Amino acid sequence: MKRAFLGEFEEIVLLTVAVLSGGGDEAAYGVTVTQEIEQKTGRAVGFSTVHTTLQRLEEKGYLSSQMGGATAERGGRRKRFFALTATGRKALVEVQQVRAQLWEALPPQALQLMGY
């Protein structure tokens, strides 16, 4: 089977969807994903960047989405909620394993030279 290759921002978005939708509620949509990324990383991100990434991850099969009900606060517009697919969970596990292997292979003196 083919290994998942995720860009850094794709990985962050995928992890954020996992965090927000982990409880099974409908919490992972464009605005909440954007806010969570900014809060957790301290990195300013544009909503359009997050939205484009969510769509791309859905096209790749890592996410699925469904439309929620219309709300008055959104002027009658509906929200698109995202959740991880089995392929998305597998991709995150693979990425985590690769990172762990790389950290384990890092010689202790390498970080000492970096001042850590």
pLDDT tens string 49-82: 999 999 999 999 999 999 887 676 666 678 899 9
Domains of the chain: 8-113 (1.10.10.10)
CB contact set of 47 (below 8 Å; sequence gap of 6+):
30, 31, 34
- Mean pLDDT (whole number) for 101-112: 84
Question: What pLDDT was estimated at residue 72?
Answer: 67
List Cα–Cα distances, 75 to 79, 81, 114, in angstroms.
11, 17, 52
Q: What is the mean pLDDT of the chain?
A: 87
Q: Confirm if 6 and 95 have CB atoms less than 8 A apart.
A: yes
pTM, 2 dp: 0.83
The single-letter DSSP state of residue 106 is: S
Crossing angle between the packed helical segments 30-41 and 47-59, to the nearest 10 degrees: 110
Q: How far is 84 from 56, CA to CA, in rounded Å? A: 13
